[in-house]
Structure 1
Amino acid sequence: MFVVVASCFLVMLYKLMSFWFIEVLVVLFCIGGIEGLQTCLVTLLSCFRCFKGFAESFIKVPFFGAVSHLTLAVCPFCIAFAVVWAVYRTISFAWIGQDILGIALIITVLQIVRVPNLKVGTVLLGCAFLYDIFWVFVSKWWFHESVMIVVARGDRSGEDGIPMLLKIPRMYDPWGGYSVIGFGDIILPGLLVAFSLRYDWLTKTPLRAGYFIWAMTAYGLGLLVTYVALNMMDGHGQPALLYIVPFTLGTFITLGKKRGDLKTLWTRGEPERPCPHVQLQPLEQKD
């Protein structure tokens, strides 16, 4: 289902790639970025004692229900930030604003969406793995060009590409340009990384002995190999999930099997815990 929906969306992007369609995506990105930036700022400011009272006091807003005073105070700044980026997104340093909005959106998605167990995570990442390879490499046979790369670069729209990616200027590149990574290459493996962190919390495992450090390290290595392959292929676009998925998923499954947790991770997704509402009484021995 994930592959079908994502493929239909990507083909629609490819066929309708034009200036007005990119503008629609920019509006949608700004809406998501505003929500993500607001959530991150409210969470961050709530940690400070001087803002805690504003975060815990609420006011009823039409159509939105109860909203904290801190959220109302932060919201205008988030809207202004997104609007300024949208207006000036073609200037040289606009990538900073795009990355801030994108990172905030990614963090919010990872807070909301959760992988229940390793089985679901394996199916999801497996489908994304095949999807990424198909639309970067195999799609050239049908469309005579890589659909994923055309959509990412925005070659047909007259702009720098869709905003649903993080970008940073290339260092020591005489032709300029940006190194980019799509949101899917972060969010989908990130769901597995977030799952590993939740499992460590539930098992009360120290950070050094848990799965989270290994999952983060594996993701970093997969990303490093992606950029090595990118440089070896003379800058031709590479499907990041081709390298990231085997590293993250392979490390998680291998480590789970070695520690004897694979069955629990695969099915339950959390350790067995006694119900806190049921207190077992010791059996009395009869003489």
Structure 2
Amino acid sequence: MMRLAFLWPCSATKTCWTSSGQRFGRMVRVALYAPHEPVLDYNMVIIFIMAVGTVAIGGYWAGSRDVKKRYMKHKRDDGPEKQEDEAVDVTPVMTCVFVVMCCSMLVLLYYFYDLLVYVVIGIFCLASATGLYSCLAPCVRRLPFGKCRIPNNSLPYFHKRPQARMLLLALFCVAVSVVWGVFRNEDQWAWVLQDALGIAFCLYMLKTIRLPTFKACTLLLLVLFLYDIFFVFITPFLTKSGSSIMVEVATGPSDSATREKLPMVLKVPRLNLSPLALCDRPFSLLGFGDILVPGLLVAYCHRFDIQVQSSRVYFVACTIAYGVGLLVTFMALALMQRGQPALLYLVPCTLVTSCAVALWRRELAVFWTGSGFAVNTSLL
């Protein structure tokens, strides 16, 4: 039980009395207390399941989709909606530009939070609607109805004559995103919609962005590893308030006039029965970057597994390593009782495990350069 006590001086010419007429004298002692709030909560289990599930499903989907496209290059397409977005290979230059943009955006958010938070919310609405459409489209295409196409026209996108079911799906995804945007501050249920949209966004990014080699994976993960440590542990020594830029931006500045929160996180409310929840609904957060960055390595491992026919040993090992790294993050949070840079624990766990599997299988050279892809593709 946390307790705060202080003395309240009465006027020199008056005596303090209670409502019942009891005299206290010239000094009144007032004590305030707050119930003990545990650092870890059962909601961590929900966050763990969502994070590990997203990484596993996204990595599996991305790897399978990439390999399928390699082996079915000449498959006949029956319509524009069948054409999936091409994956984007991440180059070292793209990695450097991305990190510089992340640093710049984080600093700008720290100093101009109330202005830029609405820009981020708008971007999230658009990106999450796209991600939700990408995740649901394969399921909708299996439906036996709604295959009719809209009439010929010259409108943007509609000139491709999409099927009615795909058009309805697009409208549904936009509607879900708009509903979240309007009711985003409803703490009772809006977090469920935010997490669903966030998971769809992460799955879409894991499917679209591709790391072509383990060398590229290592470069990206190590650079973001340093980025995470700097903005969580080093920036408190550089700011006037002594606060971490990363934690301040992720949780929302205490002096923010808008009281808005950034949506680029998975959030689950505390499940304990603390009386503090009556005044404020505390949430536990996990940033999208802590899912996407290791998830790209998991996707690479799955693609490599299929190419070298290794029974998905890389994929399974890297996914388990991600789960272990997340558990270590939770333990560090409990021990240090402060916000943690999750990549500090996730990057070593996933990189070291993947490298160890490659050494054990004597495939490190091929795994490092991704040359297994070129060898197997040449056999087609």
Calculate the TM-score normalised by the size of structure 1: 0.87
Give the superposition deviation at 1:267. Answer: 1.0
How many angstroms apart in 2 are the aligned matches of 1:136 and 1:106?
23
Task: Show the counterpart of 1:270.
Answer: 372
Indicate how the Cα distance of structure 1 residues 77 and 131 shifts in structure 2: closer, same or farther if over 3 A, else same.
Answer: same
Q: For residue 202 of structure 1, report the CA deviation from its aligned partner.
A: 1.8
Equivalent residue in structure 2 for 1:187, among 267, 292, 315: 292
Counterpart selection for 1:244 from 334, 340, 346: 346
If asked which structure has higher relative contact order (CA below 8 Å, sep 6+), I would say 2
The equivalent position to 1:133 in structure 2, one of 229, 239, 254, is 229
Q: Quote the Cα distance in structure 2 between the aligned partners of 1:12 and 1:167.
A: 23
In structure 2, distance between residues paired with 1:9 and 1:268: 32
Q: Which residue of the partner structure matches residue 282 of structure 1?
A: none
SS at match of 2:326: helix
Distance change (3 Å), C-alpha of 1:275 and 1:269 = closer
Summarize the Cα distance change of 1:38–1:31 in structure 2 as closer, same or farther, 3 Å threshold: same
Q: Unaligned 5+ residue runs, structure 2?
A: 1-95
Cα-to-partner distance string for 1:255-286 (whole Å, 9 max, x where unaligned): 11111111011112534226246xxxxxxxxx
SS at the partner of 2:372?
coil
- SS of alignment partner, residue 367 of structure 2: helix
Partner SS, residue 68 of structure 1: coil
Match of 1:165 in 2: 265
My pick for the range that moved more, 114-123 or 170-179, is 170-179
Q: 1:274 to 1:225 in 2, by over 3 A?
A: closer
Aligned to 1:75: 170
Secondary structure at the aligned position of 1:4 is classed as: helix
Alpha-carbon distance between aligned partners in 2 of 1:37 and 1:95, rounded to the nearest angstrom: 16
> Mapping of 1:1-287 within 5 angstroms?
1=96, 2-18=98-114, 20-46=115-141, 48-50=142-144, 54=147, 62-64=155-157, 66=160, 68-69=162-163, 70-92=165-187, 93-143=189-239, 144-155=242-253, 156-157=255-256, 158-172=258-272, 174=274, 175=276, 176-207=281-312, 210-234=313-337, 236-268=338-370, 270-271=372-373, 272-273=375-376, 275-276=378-379
1:58 to partner: Cα distance: 10
Question: Any idea what the Cα deviations from partners look like across 1:205-249, whole Å, max 9, x if unmatched?
Answer: 324xx2111111000110111111112222x11000000000001
Deviation at 1:80, TM superposition (A): 1.1
Q: Deviation of residue 29 (structure 1)?
A: 0.4
d(CA) in 1 for partners of 2:235, 2:271: 30
Name the CA distance, whole Å, in 1 between partners of 2:212 and 2:247.
32
Shift of the 264–231 alpha-carbon distance from structure 1 to 2, 3 Å rule, reads same
Q: Which amino acid aligns with 1:78?
A: C
Change (3 A) 1:61 1:224: farther
Q: How big is each residue's C-alpha offset from its partner over 1:111-134, in whole Å with a ceiling of 9 and x where there is no partner?
A: 110000000100100001000000
Aligned-partner Cα distance in 1 for 2:321–2:103: 27
Distance 1:276 1:254, change over 3 A: closer
Q: Which amino acid aligns with 1:159?
A: R
Q: Residue type matched to 1:154 in 2?
A: G
RMSD: 2.2
* Residues 269 and 66 of structure 1: CA distance in aligned 2, closer, same or farther (over 3 Å): farther
Q: For the Cα contact (< 8 Å) 2:149–2:161, is it kept in 1?
A: no
Contact persistence 1:170–1:178 (CA under 8 A)? yes
Match for residue 284 of structure 1?
none
Give, as a single letter, the amino acid of the residue that structure 1 aligns with 2:217: G
Alpha carbons 2:304, 2:370 under 8 Å: kept: no
Q: Is the CA contact (8 Å cut-off) linking 1:168 and 1:178 kept in structure 2? A: yes
Contiguous gaps of at least 5 residues in structure 1: 278-287
Distance 1:216 1:150, change over 3 A: same
* TM-score calculated relative to the size of structure 2: 0.67
Distance 1:257 1:242 in 2: 23
Alignment coverage as a number of residue pairs: 271
> Which portions of structure 1, spanning 4 or more consecutive aligned residues, are displaced by more than 4 angstroms?
55-61
How far apart, CA to CA, are the structure 2 residues paired with 1:219 and 1:33? 24
Residue aligning to 1:280? none
Distance 2:320 2:150 in 1: 40
Amino acid at match of 1:63: P
Moved more, 249-258 or 150-159: 150-159
2:369, 2:201 → 1: CA distance?
A: 29
Deviation, structure 1 residue 192? 0.2
